[in-house]
Amino acid sequence: MGVAQRSRRWLVPVTAVAVVAGVGALGPVVADASPDLPGITAQDLLAKVQTAKVDGLSGTVTSSTDLGLPALPGMAPEANQFLDLLTGDHTARVAFAGPDKARVSVLDDMAERVLTTDGKTAWVYDSSRREAAKINLPARPAKPEVAPEKETYDPQAAAKKFLAAIDPSTKVEVSGTESVAGRDAYKLRLIPRTDKTTVGSVTLAVDSKTWIPLQVTVMPRTGKDPAVQLGFSSVSFDVPAASTFAFTPPKGVKVTEKTVPAAPDKQVTPPATPKKSTPTKPERSGRDHPTVIGQGWDSVVMVRGQVPVAGNGPLDQLLAKAPTVHGSWGSGKVLTTKMVSALITDDGRIFIGLVTPDTLQAAAAKAPR
């Protein structure tokens, strides 16, 4: 066997590397080829989306969030149970049956968090802590109590929230088609007209048969990677069995029970702000409800009394590095990421929004003390 012939054998592993890399890199691209669909105007598509109604669905939802947020240790630890959903990659199984049955199972690493409601009772189960909470819902809730959590994971709710914000501030267009969860979908793109926000565009992938939004993608004003991508990786529009939404607490699991009083105040929070309180926790006493300043893309949320205690190493470090700004409103520290900006004033107020730092300061000047 000659040397040339011998060295030619190394072509086999080289080919193997090429094939593996090719399948890994090109596989998703091929799967994402744009399907052929008849044209549609943005207005028609919007109307269809708003009238879309399904009796039930089930599927797998994946979310990938990169707001550029640092890990926020020490921020309201009791609320952290679901705050982590706002960063990183997550997978959840969702099921929904009209009008008020829903189940969300967040698939964590070697653990699972389950939220399920059959309309009368809601259960929250955390497999790693082996704790379950039973929540008796009021007789006729407008929305099940798990709604805020559902919004984090249900593309429908997230999309609707953005649609509600559509006004002259936003350019709306149908920007093509794509395949999501194996279904042909139209892409509806919303582009803010103001440059005060950090949001570059929001794209909804709308199913061409049921007109249900299947995916939401938020692009930052700068950069190529989505800040938020939340959507179905698989979906079925069959109504799930009623047993899907039932929950029996397993033996050896600590169960706590709560009853929600009827007609709770719906608190206003803008989309994708990491200030949502978890659905299962009662409102913390001694702290204000968040206040919203401004409207549309450049709205800013103000929270009082959320200043984390000193002595929290990573957070102190973060704040120490943050630039200090002064204005008619006082002085404070500004934290900026590619999507979220926060202003922490010396008198204990936090302004946060999907806006540029300048907009935050302008909002702070207008804010009530």
Partner 1 sequence: MSPSETATTVTRPLPARPSAGRHAVALFASELHLVFGRARTWVTLAVLAGVPVLVGVAIRLSGSEGGTEGFIGQVAGNGFFLIVASLALSLPFFLPTAVTVVSGESLAGEASLGTLRNMLTAPAGRSRLLAAKMVALAVFCLTATMVIWLSGLIAGVVLFPVGDVVLLSGTTVSLADGLLRAFGIAILIALSLLGLAGIGLFVSSLTSTPLAAMAATFGAFIVLGILGAIPQIDVIHPWLLMYGWTSFADLLRDPPYWDAIVRNLWIQAAYLAVFYAAAWARLTSRDING
Which residues of the shown chain bind partner 1 in the complex (CB under 8 A)?
1, 6-7, 9-13, 15-17, 19-20, 23-24, 60, 91, 93, 105, 107, 109-112, 114, 125, 127-130, 132, 233, 247-253
**Distance (Å, rounded) from C-alpha 197 to C-alpha 356?**
6
**Distance (Å, rounded) from C-alpha 143 to C-alpha 155?**
16
**Distance (Å, rounded) from C-alpha 346 to C-alpha 305?**
11
Taking each helix axis from N to C terminus, what angle separates 155-164 and 42-51, rounded to the nearest 10 degrees?
130
Judged by beta carbon, residue 114 or residue 322, the one nearer partner 1 is 114
Burial of 86 (0-12, 13-18, 19+ CB in 10 A): buried
Judged by beta carbon, residue 13 or residue 168, the one nearer partner 1 is 13
Q: Shortest distance, CB of residue 43 to partner 1, whole angstroms?
A: 37
**Selection from 74, 80, 77 nearest residue 316 by Cα:** 74
Q: Which helix (H) or strand (E) holds 21?
A: helix 11-31
Judged by beta carbon, residue 1 or residue 139, the one nearer partner 1 is 1
Q: Shortest distance, CB of residue 67 to partner 1, whole angstroms?
A: 14
Judged by beta carbon, residue 85 or residue 202, the one nearer partner 1 is 85
Q: Shortest distance, CB of residue 20 to partner 1, whole angstroms?
A: 4
Q: Shortest distance, CB of residue 349 to partner 1, whole angstroms?
A: 31
**Selection from 85, 352, 354, 89 nearest residue 220 by Cα:** 354
Judged by beta carbon, residue 24 or residue 261, the one nearer partner 1 is 24
Q: Shortest distance, CB of residue 253 to partner 1, whole angstroms?
A: 7
**Distance (Å, rounded) from C-alpha 312 to C-alpha 318?**
10
Judged by beta carbon, residue 16 or residue 263, the one nearer partner 1 is 16
Judged by beta carbon, residue 93 or residue 275, the one nearer partner 1 is 93
DSSP state of 85: G
Structure tokens at 219: 């692009």
Q: Which helix (H) or strand (E) holds 220?
A: strand 213-220
Q: Shortest distance, CB of residue 168 to partner 1, whole angstroms?
A: 38
Q: Shortest distance, CB of residue 162 to partner 1, whole angstroms?
A: 27
